[in-house]
Structures are given as structure tokens and as C-alpha cells.
Structure 1
Amino acid sequence: MKNILLINSSLNGEQGNSTILAKELLSTLEAKSKVNIIERDLAKQALPHLSQQEMLAWMTPINERNEEQIQLASTSDILVEELQASDMIIIGMPMYNFGIPSSFKVWIDRIARAGITFKYTEQGPVGLLEGKKAIIVAARGGMYVGTPKDTQSQYLKDILAFIGISDVEFIYAEGLSMPTKVASLQQASVDIAALANKLLAV
């Protein structure tokens, strides 16, 4: 049984295109194989921006944390545990102002932790979450793949590789604010079905 972590961050919630497509992929996998699913909606379960006090709480040894530090560290600890327990991460990724949602950046700030999800060595940082697969389901109003305006794709590859997740695939649905919307969503569904079949064949 695979453990799948689904992360969504669309401000439009269940109606967001990235959410709909990410759940379409998840439903396809769930219908054909046994999976254990953890869902986290970063728009519904909004996380505050990272503070110095919270970061210091992580750096304090567990047995030395006071009550406030235990509480502050618990959010990050839970998010990291969800990630560590997963075999596959499906990320519904809308594009806002050419970037990732701020709610997703807050999630990243809490799961990228030295000594836990990556470590520093003489050769540089090394990710500690190897053996996992990430699938990014990216929904955009315009057409950006392969252009300098696609600031998401390389960033997501880089940050996931930083914590050890180098097996990353993308499903793109672009032009969703253009007359191409229907055709783009149809193609995304075709791509989702093809990817699901490939994953299930492994």
C-alpha cells in the first residue's frame, strides 16, 4: 500500500483547477490500487509566516524545549512527519502573479529543516527524503511552460531536490483564462490518465 500526501493551495478551494486536477489524479490511483491518503489544504488550514521564535524552537533539543517551544515546534513536526511517511506527494499548484502561492511557501519553510529533511556536508547540502516521488499538477491562466515567466517549475524541482526528492513529474494545464481552457483541461485529463497508468504499471 502506498502512502500519498496530497497538498493543495488554491484560493478557490474545491473549485480551483489545480485542486480539481490533483484530485482527479488521486482518484484515478485510488480506484485502481490500495493507497493511504493524507490531504492537506494550505488555503483552508492557513499557516502563519515563520517567526524567529518558531525556528529557534526547532533548533532547541526536544528534551530542552519549554512548553511554548513544544507548541511552536509541533506544527513543523507534524508537517515533516506527513512528508516522511509518504511514498508519493501530489501537489496541486496554481500560479499567482508568476509564482507559487504564499501559503505553499510557508509550508516549504516548515519542511526544509537542517538535520531532519536535509543536512550540510563538506560537499554541500544533501537531501534526506530520498526514494519518494512528487507529481506537480500545475494550473495557469496563461501559457508559460518553457518561457522565463515559468518561475514555478525550476524552483519546485530545486526545493524538492534540496530535501532529497529528485523524482519529480509535472502535469500542466495552461491557458485556463484563455479560449483554450476547455481543450487544455481535456488534455490535462488525458495526461493524468497516462501518468496514472504508468505509475500503476511500476
Structure 2
Amino acid sequence: MNILQLDSAITGEASVSRKLTADIVARLKAQDPAASVTYRDLNEGVAAIDNAWFHAVRVVPENPSPEQQQLIDRADAYLQEVQDADVLVIGLPVYNFNLPAQLKNWLDQIARAGVTFRYTEAGPEGLLKGKRAIVGYASAGTPIGSEIDHASGYLRHMLAFLGITDVTFVAADRLAMDRDAGLARAQDVIDQIAA
């Protein structure tokens, strides 16, 4: 089993979502000690897609400039990590009712027409099938699945759009109201995860 662990919290060691992803990976590794883990901290910087990215990655010039090649290489590295993974363990800290910009930027980098999704007569088809995602959701006050939670629904939709429909959320939500209860709810879900 190949695991891709993605963190995006800006709070470092104090991050609950980072603790959740670490605990989820530890649980998977305990069940499958031979599992490999690729780790990427999105907080180290994921460029937003822009005009330069479009002309390098989507248009694919025949003779890319050094700057374009750098954009292509970075986007392809993100993509290869996802393609190689059997399981994605994604940290989802909720900031201002939504996912962090760096996680959105990563999704934009890997959402590539003809590679991770395609349009058919029946509508869009995700091409990253057969993968599983486990999401460590952490929020101070936003209940998961509530009308003010714009993070979990969007991430679930994007993963499904890319073909990843086996998605489990491990939620430590409403931590500002009752931290211990939120962490306990998350631990109960982690304890039931099977590799």
C-alpha cells in the first residue's frame, strides 16, 4: 500500500489536523507495516495556478522555457504522487469556514483535463479510480456537514470529480466548544479504520 500524506495547517506543532493525519497513517502502518508513505507539507508553498501555469502545463509548449519547465515539473510531481498512491491521507484544517488556500492550490494543480478527469457524453468522469481518501478534518467552531462548513463538501466533491469516491472523514470539530469531546470523536473513527 502506498500512502500519500498531505498536511496544510499553518499552526505547526499545535495543529490538530496534523495530529489526525499522523494518527491515521500510524493506524494504517500498524495494519500494513510494509506500507510506504510519501509526505508533502502543502504549507511549504503550493503556487496558485495562473496564466503562466496555464501556458506551461495546460498548453504544453513544444520547447518550454526554463521557467515553464519548472512549472511543469512541479505540477507533474504533485500529479505523480497522487497517481502512485493507493490511499490519500489529507489534513483539512478549516479556516474561515473553508479549506486552506494551499490545499485548494494543490487541487487546482492536480485537476488536469485528460489526465485526472475527462468530459464524456454522460458528463465528467474522474480518472483517479480505485483510490481511497481519509480526511483529518479539524475546526474550532465549524461543525462538519453543517450549512457553514464549506470545506468538507467541496473536498468530497473535488475528490469524486477526480474519481476518488471512497472517502472517510475523521472529524475533530467544534474544538473551541469542547476540545476533549472533539478529539475523542475523531479517535473513535481512527480506531475503526482498516487498512
Q: Which range, TM-score by smaller chain?
A: over 0.9
The match for 2:35 is: 35
The percent identity for this pair of structures is 38
Q: Is the 8 A contact 2:126 2:161 kept in 1?
A: yes
Give the secondary structure class of the aligned counterpart of 1:151: coil
- In the TM superposition, what whole-angstrom CA distance separates every residue of 1:26-58 from its partner, at most 9, and x where no partner exists? 112112312110011111x21222121111111
CA RMSD of aligned residues (A): 1.5
The match for 2:184 is: 186
Partners of 1:59 and 1:103 in 2: how far apart? Answer: 20
Partners of 1:133 and 1:28 in 2: how far apart? Answer: 15
Aligned AA for 1:182?
A: D
* Structure 1, 136-145 or 80-89: larger mean CA deviation: 136-145
Partners of 2:127 and 2:53 in 1: how far apart? Answer: 22
- In the TM superposition, what whole-angstrom CA distance separates every residue of 1:41-80 from its partner, at most 9, and x where no partner exists? 111x212221211111112347543333211211110000
Partners of 1:117 and 1:88 in 2: how far apart? Answer: 16
Task: Report the count of equivalent residues.
Answer: 194
Instruction: For 1:108-127, list aligned pairs within 5 A.
Output: 108-127=107-126
Partners of 1:63 and 1:54 in 2: how far apart? Answer: 15
- After TM superposition, the score normalised by the length of structure 2 is 0.93
Partners of 2:180 and 2:50 in 1: how far apart? Answer: 42
Aligned AA for 1:14?
A: E
- After TM superposition, the score normalised by the length of structure 1 is 0.90
The match for 2:76 is: 77
Please state how far the C-alpha of 1:143 moved relative to its aligned partner.
Answer: 4.4
Partners of 1:159 and 1:146 in 2: how far apart? Answer: 16
Give the secondary structure class of the aligned counterpart of 2:158: helix
Partners of 1:111 and 1:26 in 2: how far apart? Answer: 22
* Structure 1, 24-33 or 162-171: larger mean CA deviation: 24-33
Partners of 1:177 and 1:29 in 2: how far apart? Answer: 29
Moved segments of 4+, more than 4 Å = none
Is residue 144 from structure 1 mapped to residue 123 from structure 2 by the alignment? no
Q: Is the 8 A contact 2:97 2:142 kept in 1?
A: no
The match for 1:163 is: 162
Give the secondary structure class of the aligned counterpart of 2:171: strand
Partners of 2:77 and 2:61 in 1: how far apart? Answer: 14
Partners of 2:185 and 2:98 in 1: how far apart? Answer: 23
Q: Is the 8 A contact 2:42 2:102 kept in 1?
A: yes
- In the TM superposition, what whole-angstrom CA distance separates every residue of 1:1-50 from its partner, at most 9, and x where no partner exists? x000001111112320010011011112112312110011111x212221
Partners of 2:61 and 2:118 in 1: how far apart? Answer: 18
* Structure 1, 144-153 or 17-26: larger mean CA deviation: 144-153
Q: Is the 8 A contact 2:132 2:166 kept in 1?
A: yes
Partners of 2:175 and 2:93 in 1: how far apart? Answer: 11
Is residue 99 from structure 1 mapped to residue 74 from structure 2 by the alignment? no
Please state how far the C-alpha of 1:183 moved relative to its aligned partner.
Answer: 2.1
